Amino acid sequence: MNREQKRSNRAVETIVTHGGRHPEDHHGYVNTPVYRGSTVIFRTLAELDDYSRPLRYGRYDSPTTQSAAELVSELEGATGTVLAPSGLAAISTALLAVLSAGDDVLITDSAYDPTRHFATEALGRLGVTARFYDPRIGTGIAELIRENTRAVFTESPGSLTFEVQDLPAIADIAHSRGAAVIVDNSWASPVYYHPLAMGADLVLHAGTKMFVGHSDVMIGTVSANAAWWPKLNRSARLFGTTVSPDDAYLMARGMRTLAIRMKEHSARSNEMATWLASQSDVLEVYHPALPSHPGHDIWKRDFTGAGSLFAFRLAPRPRTAIAAMVDGFEQFSMGYSWGGYESLCIPFDPTKSRSATTWAAEGNMFRMHVGLEDIGDLKADIAAALDRYRQAG
């Protein structure tokens, strides 16, 4: 599905600029064109019988989807990548490539809510047991692995409460017990985090977020190492996992600026998180790049930068105070996604997304995505929102 990968010594900025592009194959055009089509015509019976040909049917591949997948593979240092129609589709594709009826899977308790729902409902119907574990468990994962545990699913940091996981420790133990390790890398992207190099077997993205960068495409990716690529590739074909060539094109186009955008998102989220930590009524800021974060040492060891997303907790006040705060936003908006150029901030309740651990911290939680607006304007908007929060309480 991909050309031979180069993961070589090329820097990230170079990879996102040149990866997956082959102008010589497309009359010299810089970007791989959008190939819309289902049917591929074969000129001879020999061509029809040649199953080694890379392009045989629109559902399997096109030059557009190949280009996008090749770019992601080189960034992740993967043997191959499949594209999926959403982040959740990437999650389900990765899990179903590894698991079968009678298997057991361990999933971080800080996982994205749709991951939890898929694991407990869909996997349960298929005869797979899903159990959740404390995201800070580290080497303690050994006590949870059973004979039929076939996978450990991690998300680092968690997309609501931002616990950082000790991936190398978890991967070493999981592999010693015959379990594969799957990582949701949507937060840091391969610009700042390389799970496959630290022992993961499959790494996935809600490409809708940082890869696309413009809040206008639903897409996901799953990349695998050499051991798991054949199984992942075959499973995706059996499931009929495919994406629109238009969406693949838009994701690849967004990724050309990924390295630059990530630098801006990282710097801005760090600045906003540091500023928020000094504001009255802010009880705690959950950003791995802050020295006060419980997982900061692991983050500093394993990551080279931060994502745009973090959370903060305010002193307890009634729901009317939350409404007063968020209803008056001028620069921030409320929305369940993130990763685009626009800043977002939503209230959430982490107690509803736990089963292996208990969230006991008092107060109201908010998740913030820092976009590309002027940071002074963003701070002013939040300062005014905090004033409304205090006054309404």
Confidence (pLDDT) at 11: 86
| Pair 123, 154: CB distance under 8 Å | no
Residue 8 pLDDT grade (very low, low, confident, very high; cuts 50, 70, 90): low
Residues catalogued as catalytic: 59, 112, 184, 209
Distance of alpha carbon 305 from alpha carbon 157, whole angstroms? 12
DSSP β-bridge partners for residue 366: 312, 347
Distance of alpha carbon 15 from alpha carbon 34, whole angstroms? 21
- Give per-residue burial for 230-244: e unless 16+ CB within 10 Å, then b: eebbebbeeeebbbb
Query: Average of pLDDT values for 175-200?
Result: 97
Output the six-digit token pair for 32. 């791989």
Within the chain, residue ranges assigned H as helices are 12-18, 45-49, 63-76, 87-98, 113-117, 124-125, 167-176, 189-192, 229-239, 245-255, 258-277, 296-302, 319-327, 375-392
The helix/strand count (H/E) of the chain reads as 14, 11
Which run of H or E residues covers position 106? strand 104-108
Query: Average of pLDDT values for 92-101?
Result: 97
pLDDT exceeding 70 applies to what percent of the chain?
98
Return the domain boundaries, the chain: 12-255, 258-392
The CATH T-level fold of domain 258-392 is Aspartate Aminotransferase, domain 1 (3.90.1150)
Among residues 373, 376, 370, the alpha carbon closest in space to that of 187 is found at 370
Length of the chain: 393
Sequence letter at residue 59: R
The CATH T-level fold of domain 12-255 is Aspartate Aminotransferase; domain 2 (3.40.640)
Which run of H or E residues covers position 84? strand 80-84
Residue 37 pLDDT grade (very low, low, confident, very high; cuts 50, 70, 90): confident
Name the average pLDDT for the chain: 93
The model carries a pTM of 0.93
pLDDT at 147 over 80: yes
Distance of alpha carbon 286 from alpha carbon 301, whole angstroms? 18
